[in-house]
Amino acid sequence: MEGKSKRQAVLVGCNYYNTPNELHGCINDVLAMRDTLVKRFEFEPANIEVLTDAPGSSLPLPTGANIKLALARMVDAAKAGDVLYFHYSGHGTRIPSKKRGHPFRQEEAIVPCDFNLITDLDFRQLVNRLPSGASLTILSDSCHSGGLIDKEKEQIGPSSVISKSEAPKNYTYTPKTIPFESILQHLSSLTKINTTDIGTHLLESFGEEASLRFRLPLPDPELSTPLRADNGVLLSGCQPDETSADMRPNEVSAKAYGAFSNAVQMVLKENPGMISNREVVILARKLLQSQGFQQHPCLYCSDENANATFLWQKHLLRTIMAISMANLTKSTFVGAGIDPPHCSKTLRSSIT
């Protein structure tokens, strides 16, 4: 008997309590997504690992090593048909690029609570390790998150549209970024080494647990090159050169949140049926613009996955397509709990 495919997730929220880099909505973001994964997308609670830096929490701390270990466990245990999801809410940063011709001359990274950076190359290596038929969707609600899977194809990229609305006035806005200079200063204070090479500080502080991007000798080129039109999907909270917003309420009764995480939650709530990765990003971008945020979510994935259904197994989508091709009526789909108006454009066009 063929084994049942699994849905697994790693959710990371970093608020950096009692530090100059403190945020307020990141843990709320991942706890809200955990509920959504269970109630809407049929993830088993036991298959969702949550890492936060909440004071007194029994959960593992979101250090660089712990995050990479959780992701490695999830990817290495995956089989064909499995749906994997990683949600990160916290600070992002950019580091100088040593690659010639890089469009921004900088590389993207997320900032775990111990500053052991996880870079775009680390995420590329994870995607390359996926077994054929499995998928990994990454939602990064952090600054400079566009391009966080190295060399992944851009489907929805930079925009120059400026919002004409005003951001919520009853919230305090904090950009979810730690500048490279601040990270370098922090690591220098730990290593006591006088150099501006951040790789030297990271290797001195974290050794083999540091990002692949800073290892010597350089990683195998196959680790950093897409092996095929892969099944990695990145929904970024903003463009590579933009910041994402952390919103802290001025009223005690309200909850803090990340602007992009909250926008995705609202999009999913307003679209209770199947919705494509492309539609999630486009609708979240429009929502943030209407709310006055100056950030533009982006989508990076293969052409096929751009129109694939967000967090739905491909075999399920193919089954539904096969049924629709059999000329069943719209009422049949509604009776099965599928709402055609909220399906992806490809699926809607095939429903009679």
Write out the catalytic residue numbers. 91, 143
- The burial of 55, by beta-carbon neighbours within 10 Å (0-12 exposed, 13-18 middle, 19 or more buried), is given as exposed
51 is written with which tokens? 């890492």
Provide the 3-class DSSP secondary structure of residue 319: helix
* Beta carbons within 10 angstroms of residue 40's beta carbon: 12
- Do 117 and 187 form a contact (C-beta atoms < 8 A)? no
For strand 135-141 and strand 154-156, is the pairing parallel, antiparallel, or unpaired?
A: unpaired
**Rounded Cα distance, 23 and 92, in Å:** 12
Q: Would you give the distance in Å from CA 108 to the centre of its chain? A: 13
Q: Looking at the chain, how many residues does it have?
A: 352
315 alpha-carbon distance from chain centroid: 23
**Identity at 255, one-letter amino acid code:** K
- The two tokens of residue 19 are 């530090």
How much helix, strand and coil, in percent to the nearest 5, is found in the chain? 35, 20, 45
SS3 335: helix
